């Protein structure tokens, strides 16, 4: 997990990094016909289309550093050749990391939580 919106997920062939940067999110919008937040709601609610899952994972793999060929092989092997419901949680996690970040993301956290933020009075 990282501050750049990436998330590491475990696959049968090992751990992989997925990331949907702006370019991948734009392509995902084009391929699914909806924006990333609407797509996330669609996936989480169970109203997904096949390409919602396939394209989220494929583009996330590319954004995470896989070549387009590697990403296509990943979805053919572990998404298209398996029950599609297995792809729901990974697709949702990839989108969530891009949209809201991940649990370990330090953005917005102070280094020392007992020290007041600049300009804030100390309480005691």
Domain definitions of the chain by residue range: 6-100
Report whether 9 contacts 15 (CB < 8 A). Answer: yes
**Euclidean distance between CA atoms 40 and 97, whole angstroms:** 11
What's the pLDDT tens digit per position in 18-54?
999 999 999 999 999 999 999 999 999 999 999 999 9
Residue with more model confidence, 116 or 30: 30
Report whether 52 contacts 115 (CB < 8 A). Answer: no
What's the pLDDT tens digit per position in 84-111?
999 999 999 999 999 987 665 455 544 4
Q: Exposed, middle or buried: residue 30 (CB in 10 Å: 0-12, 13-18, 19+)?
A: exposed
Report whether 26 contacts 43 (CB < 8 A). Answer: no
| pTM for the structure as a whole | 0.80
Place of tokens 């392509």: 27
């Amino acid at each position: 997990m990282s501050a750049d919106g990436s998330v590491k997920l475990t696959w049968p062939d090992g751990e992989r990094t997925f990331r949907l940067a702006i370019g991948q999110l734009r392509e995902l919008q084009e391929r699914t016909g909806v924006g990333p937040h609407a797509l996330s709601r669609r996936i989480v609610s169970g109203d997904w289309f096949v390409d919602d899952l396939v394209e989220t994972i494929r583009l996330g793999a590319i954004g995470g550093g896989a070549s387009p060929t590697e990403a296509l092989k990943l979805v053919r092997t572990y998404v298209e050749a398996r029950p599609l419901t297995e792809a729901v949680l990974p697709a949702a996690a990839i989108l969530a990391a891009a949209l809201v970040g991940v649990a370990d993301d330090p953005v917005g956290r102070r280094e020392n939580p007992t020290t007041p933020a600049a300009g804030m009075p100390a309480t005691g």
